Amino acid sequence: MKTLLLEEMSWPEIRDAIGSGMRTVVIYAGAIEQHGPHLSENADTVRGYVEAEGLARRLGEALVAPVIRPGMSEHHIAFPGTVSLRAEVFAGVLEDYIDSYIRHGFDKIVCCCSHGGNSNVVESVVAEKKTQYPNVKFATDNILAVLPAMLSAAEEREGLESGVCGGHADDFETSLMLNGCPEYVRMDKAERGYIGKLDEAQMARIFSEGIAAISDNGILGDASKATAERGSRYFNELMDVLEKSIKSQLV
Ligand SMILES: [Zn+2]
């Protein structure tokens, strides 16, 4: 199948695709940040491409923007290698992505996060853009609101100990990586990290004090038993949830 990645297409190909009705653009916001001792720092970015392409195929008539990297990762900065954008810088990049694609003729803009730390700013930028462009349809994944329930459901369905899908470099994310981008996983280095529920209080603590305050190795959950097979089920479940939510916002 032909590429859906805008960055891999030439301008006449993009012009013709838009002209033939492919007027939805899927913009993912990823990160360059620590992901425990077993995943590379580009995990949210490479996983973002896999998820963006999967979602674009589910939506149909959709193309994929270059994944935004880095993102907002201040809560990971205690670990070497993490790059974090200030909120106003990240918001400016997303605003300029949206403005650029609208100028090219896209009229359905889908903004998702493969890194939860970007979610609040993405929601507020999109809320502003909706007012600025009343004739354009927008959708977001609102991932920070959706993720905790998705992780709990995944643990239950898979019969896993509570907390192993803890929200960062955990069984969920490591399995997704093994399924979609295995070249960036060192399973011999995968460990158990902080085990606890990713609820609102926990998220508030992570964002105010940083992940290092509760996890020495940077993992929230347990990565040690991740499998590609489970990652494939997690991926399909994630796509099901996103497809339903995004389609309902684009009507
Ligand atoms: Zn991640």
For residue 104, being part of any structural domain is answered with yes
For residue 41, being part of any structural domain is answered with yes
How far does residue 150's CA lie from ligand 1's centre (Å)? 15
Residues 56-110 have pLDDT tens digits of 999 999 999 999 999 999 999 999 999 999 999 999 999 999 999 999 999 999 9
172: confidence class by pLDDT, cuts 50, 70, 90: very high
- Write down the pLDDT at residue 1: 59
How far does residue 61's CA lie from ligand 1's centre (Å)? 28
- Write down the pLDDT at residue 216: 95
Owning domain of residue 26 = 6-250
Mean pLDDT over each residue of the chain, to the nearest integer: 96
SS (H, E, C) 116-151: HHHHHHHHHHHHHHHHHCCCCEEEECCHHHHHHHHH
Does pLDDT of 199 surpass 90?
no
* pTM exceeds 0.85, yes or no: yes
- Write down the pLDDT at residue 171: 98
Which CATH number covers residue 170?
A: 3.40.50.10310
Q: Which residues pair with 176 in a beta bridge?
A: none
β-bridge pairing 220-221 and 165-168: antiparallel
Does pLDDT of 196 surpass 90?
no
DSSP 1-50: ----BGGGS-HHHHHHHHHTT--EEEEEE--B--BTTTB-TTHHHHHHHH
User: How many domains are contained in the chain?
Assistant: 1
Does pLDDT of 198 surpass 80?
no
Helices and strands per DSSP (H, E), number in the chain:
8, 6
For residue 1, being part of any structural domain is answered with no
Q: 43-47, 80-84, 199-203: which range is least confident on average?
A: 199-203
**Nearby residues for ligand 1 (ion, Cβ within 5 Å):** 43-44
For residue 58, being part of any structural domain is answered with yes
Helix axes 228-250, 143-158, angle to 10 degrees: 140
For residue 204, being part of any structural domain is answered with yes
